[in-house]
Amino acid sequence: MAYGKLKSKEAAEELVQDLFENLWNKRSSAQILQLSPYLFSAIRYRIINYIKSEKVRTSYELFCRLNLSDVDAGTEATVALNELNEALAAGMQNLSGKTQEVFRLSRLEQYTIPQISVRVNLSEKTVEYHLRKSLKLMRSYLRNFLLTAWPLLFFIR
């Protein structure tokens, strides 16, 4: 079913593997009365979430390409965007493992807090904590970069 909807063997395999990993991790607490309908619904929601995150990702890529193609000072804009990407990556490297993963899933892959909670096997409150922590650290880390690079990024559009 996943392959039929996504037309990508790798993506379908990843979603199915994620589903079974989740089932395995919750095997002691899960109360599944009818396995087939449960699996059908679970994979359907994973497919929907995957498609949503892909739309966000492709929209962002298109946005970046359009902004770069509209720039008169192409080299300066490219340099500024590359520096921003490098600063973001460097900031993420300063985050601890779980905090970094929660930030990536929330801000880059557009997962919701309940989805992240299931994916990383943490409570929603813990995910919220990691997200608050990551946003605070990223803001402080990127503050200096944005103060110097903001004028360049403003002229990109």
Mean pLDDT of the chain: 81
Give the residue among 66, 78, 89 at the shortest CA–CA distance from 149: 78
DSSP string, 79-103: HHHHHHHHHHHHHHHTS-HHHHHHH
Helices 113-120, 124-154: crossing angle, 10 deg rounding: 120
- Tell me the mean pLDDT in the region 52-60: 76
Least confident of 7-16, 21-30, 62-71, 147-156: 147-156
- Tell me the mean pLDDT in the region 58-80: 64
**pLDDT surpasses 60 at 52:** yes
Tokens of 123: 């409570």
CATH 3.60.110.10 corresponds to the domain 73-157 = no
Q: Please state the domain extents for the chain.
A: 1-70, 73-157
**Please, what sign has the CA dihedral across residues 54, 5, 115, 104?**
negative
